[in-house]
Amino acid sequence: MSQSPYNISKLFDRLAEQGLDALSPDDVARLEAAANANPALEARLARLTPVPEPIWQTLPPMPDDEQWDAMWARVHKRSTPQAQPVRRRLTLRTYLRPIVAAAACVLLALVWNTYERSETSAWPVEWAHQVEINNLEVPEGETAFVLTAGEANEIPVIWVLNTQG
Amino acid sequence: MRLLADAASGDGGARRQLFEMHREAAYKTALRITGRNEDALDVVQDAFISAFDKLDRFERESGFKTWLLRIVTNKALDLLRARKVRIAVPLETSGEAGIDLPQPDSAGSERPGAALERGELAERLRAAVETLPPEQRTVFSLYAAGDLTYGEIAEILGVPPGTVMSRLYHARRRLRELLPDLAPDGPPTAE
């Protein structure tokens, strides 16, 4: 089965002039492969508009004006700048509560680190040491920071805060 | 461009204009993918809210319509996944095991497209489209919304134009097999 440029060009012309109905499944597969391998052909294909057929565009009635107006009212209300939470300027007061919580956590870590655990302790968990955090990704609108504890700052505590109000 | 800039800055009039320009294409696309009027309305509403919220980050490398329809398509597909709708239904041939599609009245010699009520016709088409695999369904939905090139549909879906062409070909072929009386030129013939 020849895939010469001439044949592909004829297939493309047939598609452009007569639409998809003029092609067989094999024609479509060949044309697809050729377009994926040839940027120029792909660009030509990209500019084509598939022939619309009214039968395939049959739909139930569209929403009426009242429905559209109601939808617009909801869209407008939920997307206007005034509808967004006010972004607070980040100050020490913004972080006060999480800082206090973080400090309490660090204090707990220090106490734990100096507490003499017996060999028969039922608590199987130990603090991880020599931890290195190479990357920390958080969603947009949130910020992360790491506090360390321990005598040699070897115990990391990760905090993630929502900064959008 | 001015309209987009005004809308991005929060101009309600500009946003309303964008809404009115693109709401029908958005609705048609959402309806084809979700198959339900109520879901389509929810998708369109959420898509416009999302689009306006992100408009200041819209890079304008593509048109607003293309960008909006990408949002619509993704939200419609998310809704389908959430509903856990079984989209792909193996169907041997029309009339055999599988989906029972509403059939037209057999009486009368008028052309089917003229004889059927619009609502019944739309329902038959909707039921048939729901049997398409997701990738064919989304391509067909965007094609049926009208006026999009292969390249625009490709950009919306993030696939090559050749893939769009192939999926649309097979989607239309499948629909003609399911709805032979509605196909413009009868069932497709393989060469």
Which residue of A58, A75, A80 is in closest CB contact with B45?
A: A75
Which residue of A45, A74, A80 is in closest CB contact with B45?
A: A74
Residues B163, A32: C-beta atoms closer than 8 Å: yes
What does the block give as tokens for B138? 């989304």
H-assigned helices in A24-142: 25-37, 39-47, 65-79, 92-114
Instruction: Give the integer Cα–Cα distance in Å for B17 and B23.
Output: 10
Instruction: Give the integer Cα–Cα distance in Å for A63 and A53.
Output: 22
Q: Which residue did the predictor score with more confidence, A28 or A142? A: A28
Place of tokens 């004889």: B115
Predicted confidence (pLDDT) at residue B51 exceeds the cutoff of 60: yes
| Chain B: residue whose CA lies nearest to A38 | B162
What does the block give as tokens for B43? 């998708």
The closest of B104, B139, B140 to B121, measured between CA atoms, is: B104
H-assigned helices in chain B: 2-8, 12-34, 37-53, 64-83, 112-115, 118-129, 134-145, 150-157, 161-178
Q: What's the whole-number mean pLDDT along residues B123-142?
A: 91
Surface-to-core class of residue B60, CB atoms within 10 Å of its CB (0-12 exposed, 13-18 middle, 19+ buried): exposed
Condensed to tens digits (0 to 9), the pLDDT of residues B142-181 reads 998 878 999 999 999 999 999 999 999 999 999 999 988 8
Predicted confidence (pLDDT) at residue B90 exceeds the cutoff of 50: no
The structure's pTM equals 0.62
The reported pLDDT for the residue numbered B25 is: 92
The reported pLDDT for the residue numbered B187 is: 46
Interface A–B counts its CB contacts (< 8 A) at 130
Residues recorded for chain A: 165
